[in-house]
Amino acid sequence: MNRPPVNKLIYDRELADIEQRTEKGFFQLHDAQRLADWEQYLSDELGLGLDIPQFTFGEDLTRAKFEIIINNAEAIKAASPQADDEPAKPLAIAWDYVKENILEKILAIAWQFYYSENIDKLYSGTFRAGNHVKFRSGLGYFS
């Protein structure tokens, strides 16, 4: 099993992020690459063999590439168990922070189900080494 991408998915953007021009408020090259990295990871782990677009500095983020990313997220969603509150696939037109949140939430839910089925079941509880006890935190990482 490969390690998941380092950059965490972001699905808690708010209008205030846009208005205050925070880092979450802008959609930039690294945001598109984060999506591509997560799609590549989930595609590999689920055995889907999806065609993942790559993004390079100075390149336009075209609607065609967005549609590939959105369709890949839909394929990943279809290959994973579904959450009751999972959002529907967004359209590539009029891209905004709400649609970005939805897309990253779809990938996060797929990751959580994958993690729960394939990693969580391998270990549950605490890890004891001598007198030192470490409790689980986050998605499988020990603190």
Beta-bridged to residue 127, according to DSSP, are 134
Quick one: pLDDT at residue 58? 73
Reading the block at residue 49, the tokens are: 């063999």
2 inside domain: no
Quick one: pLDDT at residue 141? 43
What does pLDDT average to in each consecutive run of 10 residues of the chain (143 residues)?
Answer: 81 89 82 91 94 83 86 93 82 83 90 81 54 52 41
Quick one: pLDDT at residue 126? 53
131 inside domain: yes
67 inside domain: yes
**Which residues constitute the domain of residue 96?**
15-142
How far apart are alpha carbons 3 and 69 in whole angstroms? 21
38 inside domain: yes
8 inside domain: no
50 inside domain: yes
Quick one: pLDDT at residue 131? 57
The number of domains in the chain is 1
Quick one: pLDDT at residue 143? 38
How far apart are alpha carbons 132 and 66 in whole angstroms? 48
Quick one: pLDDT at residue 72? 94
